[in-house]
Amino acid sequence: MPTQETLTITDNRTGRQYELPIEHGTIRGMALRQIKLDADDFGLMVYDPAFKNTASTKSYITYIDGDKGILEYRGYPIDQLAEQCEYLEVAYLILNGELPNAEQLANWQDEITNHTLIHENIKRLMDGFRYDAHPMSVLISSIAALSTFYPEAKDVHDPEVRDLQIRRLIAKAPTLAAFAYRFSMGLPYTYPDNDLTYTGNFLNMMFKMVEPKYEPDPILRRALDVLFILHADHEQNCGTNAMRSVGSSSVDPYSATAAAAAALYGPLHGGANEQVLRTLNTIGHVKNIPAYIERVKAGEFRLMGFGHRVYKNYDPRAQIIKRIADQVFTVTGHNPILDIALELERIALQDEYFISRKLYPNVDFYSGIIYQAMGLPTSMFPVMFAIPRTVGWLAQWVELLTDSDQAIARPRQIYLGHGRRDFVPMAERS
């Protein structure tokens, strides 16, 4: 049988036939516009709320096969990167497309290290928040505020200007995050230590007390590197879509990144790790798990940390996180919450409700347990997601700006509201 990379559509309203090209397993949405009832008709559109079956872009950054549980950055499997790379090495890969050689990596680390300080006025901005402000809200606001310090960032079509803002954002994200934490704890801010690695310095800014020099624990530093690598990018998720959508207006990257971070904050996205810990604490004991699962199945609430729009198999990141949890516990002591999580996973994965819907643990199911063992409050968990995801957002943002297929993101709608009607003066309204 001869095969052709086309789709033939018959419009039964008119009897007309159309042949649309198929490219990369897709048809162009705009190709449907020619399908009209008559010359006055606007043309056929696609109705796809929540983008469940719409590719919004071509991308060269991250590959996911949700059915097989595969995740690759620039072609490299996530487990190989997590095992063998430092976080900044993976950040370089995601942004530049290739792994850095030793000299490129040293230069890149140096460039990031040189941008870790923030303007003192950002500290004052943070001081203005209420004592119990959620650190993720503080982070979102302070990322947006950075645009006021770097007005030249508006020149988003200049590659050199872009590169500088990318370095600044990646370097300052941990500083802003750590300052948001210190503020929430009422602790004095700790300035970056340029002798330390990206994650070592982050631990320093979070946990240094009065010692003259903070020495990060090598196991915790390494665990954080792995966690950051796992969270660095995940193709067109909600936060990245926000980055691209907002960035498509050519706004500066600080404003777009703040929008992406805001999307990440939601409990259905990066806020889920915070909810997982609350769930595990609510369950409290393994004996309470079956009753909790029954309530999930009855539709009372969702099991946070389970399910994924793309993965219909075990999230490969959750498997890696599960492995590093044991290493972290050798330093921090066992976190009893892990026992509840493991039992919850075991019971859920045997249950018809979860099996038939292909609901497996996602990246957020175990990450919170590690963060808690490291001494972080649950409110910091989405912040811990946002720091490494900044790299993914920025790589996707550059891809957007350099893609000639892209334009300002502006979906269509199906209007189902009132037809035209005349204004009713106040006195005549019921």
Residues that bind ligand ACO (CB under 6 A): 268-270, 272, 296, 302-309, 357, 359, 362-364
Q: 300 or 405: whose CB is closer to ligand ACO? A: 300
Structure tokens at 106: 């040293």
Q: How far is the CB of 363 from ligand ACO (least distance, A)?
A: 5
Active site annotation includes 252 = no
Would you report the helix, strand and coil content of the chain in percent, each value rounded to 5?
A: 55, 5, 40
Structure tokens at 75: 């072609």
Q: 252 or 345: whose CB is closer to ligand ACO? A: 345
Active site annotation includes 269 = yes
Q: 107 or 281: whose CB is closer to ligand ACO? A: 281
How many Cβ atoms sit within 10 Å of the Cβ of residue 233? Answer: 28
Active site annotation includes 364 = yes
Q: How far is the CB of 368 from ligand ACO (least distance, A)?
A: 11
Please state, in angstroms and rounded to a whole number, the distance separating the CA atoms of residues 75 and 172: 28
Please state, in angstroms and rounded to a whole number, the distance separating the CA atoms of residues 134 and 130: 9
CB 72 within 8 A of CB 230: no
Please state, in angstroms and rounded to a whole number, the distance separating the CA atoms of residues 186 and 175: 16
Q: How far is the CB of 136 from ligand ACO (least distance, A)?
A: 14
Q: 36 or 302: whose CB is closer to ligand ACO? A: 302
- Out of 308, 315, 334, 403, pick the active-site residue: 308
* Alpha carbon distance, N-terminus to C-terminus of the chain: 68
Q: How far is the CB of 71 from ligand ACO (least distance, A)?
A: 12
Rounded to 5 degrees, φ, ψ at 19 are -120, 115
65-87 burial, b at 16+ Cβ within 10 Å, e below that, comes to: eeeebebbbbebebbebbeebbb
Q: Which amino acid is at 15?
A: G
Q: 7 or 268: whose CB is closer to ligand ACO? A: 268
- Out of 115, 134, 234, 269, pick the active-site residue: 269
Q: How far is the CB of 305 from ligand ACO (least distance, A)?
A: 5
What is the number of the residue whose Cβ is closest to ligand ACO?
Answer: 307
Catalytic residues: 269, 308, 364
